[in-house]
Amino acid sequence: MVAWGLCHFVKITLVRQDPMADQRQYSFEFFPPKTDKGVEKLRATREKLGALGPMYFSVTFGAGGSTRDRTFETVTEIKAAGYAAAPHLSCIGSTRANIADILDQYAAHGIDRIVALRGDMPSGMVEAGEFRHANELVAFIREHSGGQFHIEVAAYPEFHPQASKPEKDLANFAAKVKAGADGAITQYFYNPDAYFRFVDDCHKLGVDIPIVPGIMPITNHSQLARFSDACGAEIPRWIRRRLEGFGDDVTAIRAFGTDVVTALCERLLEKGAPGLHFYTMNQSEATLGIWNNLALSS
Ligand code: FAD
């Protein structure tokens, strides 16, 4: 126990003395809340995480009209509260005209960063929209808005579930960068080697934008398993088996999850990741636990 504590302390010291540390970008992702209670809760989460001085908060984007309006409302409220905010935008159900309109509205509100995605077609929806892939959306944002927005795109260290071959997925990622992306945020993963190899392969293709690891805190086993099945992120067997073993013991799951994800973040930062993007699920506790372990604020 003492030896582990000592080892942990040494690792944290390494992160804190890293000369790259102040160039790293830390960001937190929210989804637009659906209820008044959710809005209130998000405000409290925003203030707790905002105290950490993130580069920006990002807000996800859904396919339906009302979800889209909530993204806009959430983003403009974050901005009005004095923080940088980055809306996600997706191709699904979008036309050139409505993307142009929303870009103009964001520009008018002083928003200067967009996360550009293809999105996933909700079941029952038949209209894909005018853009088939994220590279087309990125190209359109550049065509319409020039250099007004810093554009982030999605990256998949364990590869996108629909990709026929890793090489094709990498080439498609490179195409998004060529279309005008400035940076990328990854799908979450618990295998850091997948990330390091992905970044190396990108460098070999001449892609040298910052690729920021997406970090999913572990707080709920069944929810994590469901998400991971849908998005193709692997939960390594040893993590899955431990989580199964905890059953409904939420305290044990959270303590284990904080340890595992802290160790993942330490490894990523030590080996040169340009920052961390936390999928907060609109909660502050799990992200704060990892943040404090990493001693990032001091
Ligand atoms: P693309 O880059 O278009 O890739 C999708 C698939 O098509 C891949 O298999 C790729 O290899 C292939 N492909 C790409 N370009 C081409 C091409 N030109 N020709 C042929 N094949 C191609 N979803 C939401 O609905 N809303 C959100 O707010 C949201 N936020 C996200 C944030 C992050 C950081 C991440 C990682 C994902 C997010 N997603 C979101 C999920 C995302 O929309 C899905 O993973 C979606 O399936 C793919 O989106 P993409 O932008 O990566 O698509």
Closest ligand 1 atom to 71 CA:
28
* pLDDT for residue 63: 75
User: What is the rounded average pLDDT of the residues 284-294?
Assistant: 98
| CB-based burial label for 242 (10 Å; 0-12, 13-18, 19+) | middle
Q: How far is the CA of 109 from the centre of ligand 1 (A)?
A: 26
Cα-based distances in Å from 166 to 54, 110, 172, 203 = 32, 38, 10, 15
Instruction: Provide the CB-side half-sphere exposure for 191 (13 A, CA).
Output: 16
Instruction: Provide the CB-side half-sphere exposure for 142 (13 A, CA).
Output: 15
Q: Does the domain at residues 13-297 carry the CATH identifier 3.20.20.220?
A: yes
* pLDDT for residue 129: 84
In the structure, what pLDDT confidence band is assigned to residue 159 with cuts at 50, 70 and 90?
A: very high
* pLDDT for residue 138: 98
- pLDDT per residue over 39-74, tens digit each? 999 999 999 999 999 999 999 998 777 788 999 999
Residue 234 pLDDT more than 70?
Answer: yes
Residue 157 pLDDT more than 50?
Answer: yes
- pLDDT per residue over 180-212, tens digit each? 999 999 999 999 999 999 999 999 999 999 999
* pLDDT for residue 291: 98
Is the minimum distance from the CB of 133 to ligand 1 under 6 angstroms?
A: yes
* pLDDT for residue 296: 84
User: What is the rounded average pLDDT of the residues 127-134?
Assistant: 88
Q: Whose CA is nearest to atom 3 of ligand 1?
A: 133
| Domain residue extents for the chain | 13-297
Q: What is the pLDDT of the chain when averaged over all its residues?
A: 92
Q: How far is the CA of 3 from the centre of ligand 1 (A)?
A: 43
* pLDDT for residue 123: 72
User: What is the rounded average pLDDT of the residues 167-173?
Assistant: 98
Q: Whose CA is nearest to atom 22 of ligand 1?
A: 172
User: What is the rounded average pLDDT of the residues 67-96?
Assistant: 96
Neighbouring CB atoms inside 10 A of 168's CB total 12
**CA proximity to 117, closest of 201, 186, 56:** 186
Contacts of 123-127 with CB under 8 Å at 24 or more apart are 125/63, 125/92, 125/93, 127/93
Closest ligand 1 atom to 136 CA:
18
73 has catalytic annotation: no
